[in-house]
Amino acid sequence: MKFKYMQWTRVLAANNVLANNTKKSFLLKILSFSFLSLQIWGTAFADESYYLVPQEFEAKLPNYRKIQRQYTGTEWLLVKMNEYDVLTYKANIHSKTLSCGGLVAIENQAAKDSLALHKIIQSLVPNRMQNEQWTQEIRYVQDASEVQSLVNSDSYWQLMTQFTSFNDRYSRTQSGQTAVNWIENKAKEIANLYGRSIETRQIVTGAGYVQNSLVVKVAGTNPSLPGVLLGGHIDTFSNAKPGADDDASGSMATLEVFRALVSSGKTFERDMYFAFYAAEEMGLIGSQRMVADFIQKNIKLEAVMQLDMIGFRNPNSTSEIYLTLDYTSEPLNQFVRKLAKQYLNYTDAQIGGLRCDYACSDHASWYKKSYRTTFPFESSFDQYNPHIHTGRDTLSLIDLNHAMKFVQLAAVFMTELAEPHSF
C-alpha cells in the first residue's frame, strides 16, 4: 500500500519515539525509518484491532490521530488502534511512567459483543483468585536441590548471548520467527543430548504476525494429573534490539531450567510445559492464543510461573525478589515464598511484593481463564530496568548473579510441583 505524506511522517515519528530518546544523526534516522517502513509495508497501518487499555492511561493514547474510544463503564477503555498507534502508545507509557502499558488485545467479535466483552473484563479483576483454597508444602528437597545445582550460569549466559544476537525479535518479522525456530531446535538438541523424549509445538499468533509461540512438553508418568508450566516472552519491538532483560532474561531462564530438568536423570509424575510467547509486547497476543489452545485441548495445569525481566538489579532495591500481587494466585505466591526461603535462603525481608495494577505480562492471559499463576520480578515496580524497549537494553545491564536466583527459583518450582521420582 502506498503511504500518503502524513502517514510516512507518522512512521518516522513513531520510530523516533521508540528510539533511545537521544539525538540521532540524519543518516541514522533515515536508515531507521527505512528499516521500520519496510517491515510494515505488508501490514499497513490502516489495519486496526481492538484493545483494552487501563483508563488511567487514556492521556497517553496517541492524540494526533483520531482513535475510536468506547468506555466500558469500568477501569478499562476499549479502543481501536493500528500498529503505529500501539507502538507509539507503549513508547509514551514507558518514557513517561516506566510502565509497560497494560495493553490487552481483544478479538473483533468479542469487542462487538457486549456480553463477551463484559466476561473478559470481569476475568481481568486483579484479585478475584486471592481467596482460593489451595495449599502446597515443600516435599522434594533432595530432588529439587539436585536440579537447582544443575542450572548453570555459563550455560545461561551462553543462551542469553546467542538469543540477543538476532537482528530483532519483533513479532511481525521473519527474524522474530527465526528466533522461535532457534529455541525449538535448541530444545531438541538438548533432549537428544540427554536421551530424553520431548514434544514441541508452534502455535500460530494470527493475521499480521510472522512469529509463532512455542510450547515444549516433557511428558510425565501420570497424564491424568494437571501439568506445570514455566514461560517467558520472546518478542521485542522492531528497533529494540537486543532486548536482553525484556525478555531474553526470562525466556532463556525457561530454556535453562528445561536443560537442567532433562539432564537430571529424573522423571516426573506431571507433564511439564515450557512456553515461549510471541507478541507479548503487542497486547499479550501469543499467550492468549496459547491459553485458548490449552483450553481447546483440555490441558489442565496445576500452576503457571511467568518470567519476564529477571536480570536487572537496582542498587536501591530493598528486597532480592518481588512477587507480583495482582493477576496472580495468593496461595501460589505463598508457596513461592516458601521455595525462596528453603532453596535461596532468603528471609521475609528479602522477598518483596509489588502491584502492576494492570495485565502487565503473559501470566494475566492464564489468570483471566482461572489458571493459578505467579510472577516473580526483578525489582519493585518503580525501580525496574529503565532501558527496556530501547537499544540500551543490553547484556551489560544484566546482573548474572541476580538473574540466576530466579533461574534457581524456577527450577525448584518446576521440580517440586511436577513431583519427581528417580530412574
The 3-state DSSP class for residue 423 equals coil
CB atoms inside a 10 Å sphere around CB 419: 19
Residues 6 or more apart whose CB falls under 8 angstroms from that of 271 comprise: 217, 218, 219, 220, 223, 225, 227, 228, 418
Query: For residue 371, what pLDDT is reported?
Result: 95
The 3-state DSSP class for residue 131 equals coil
Query: Looking at residues 226-242, what average pLDDT do you find?
Result: 91
Tell me the angle at which helices 141-150 and 400-418 cross, rounded to the nearest 10 degrees: 140
Domain with CATH 3.40.630.10 in the chain: 141-422
Instruction: Report the alpha-carbon distance of residue 95 to residue 98 in Å, rounded.
Output: 6
Instruction: Report the alpha-carbon distance of residue 110 to residue 120 in Å, rounded.
Output: 9
pLDDT at 258 over 70: yes
Q: How does pLDDT run across 116-165, given as a tens digit for each residue?
A: 787 777 777 666 665 678 999 999 999 999 999 999 999 999 999 999 99
pLDDT at 14 over 50: no
Query: Looking at residues 356-377, what average pLDDT do you find?
Result: 91
pLDDT at 36 over 60: no
The 3-state DSSP class for residue 149 equals helix
- Contact 395/385 with Cβ under 8 angstroms? no
By the 10 Å C-beta count (0-12 exposed, 13-18 middle, 19+ buried), 349 is classed as: exposed
CB atoms inside a 10 Å sphere around CB 152: 15
CATH architecture of 141-422: 3-Layer(aba) Sandwich (3.40)
Which residue blocks in 72-205 are alpha helix, DSSP H? 83-97, 108-111, 114-123, 141-150, 153-163, 174-193
The grid cell for 245 is 532483560
What is the pTM (predicted TM-score) of this model?
A: 0.82
By the 10 Å C-beta count (0-12 exposed, 13-18 middle, 19+ buried), 33 is classed as: middle
The grid cell for 405 is 536466583
pLDDT at 318 over 80: yes
Where does the pLDDT of residue 7 fall: very low under 50, low under 70, confident under 90, or very high at 90 and above?
very low
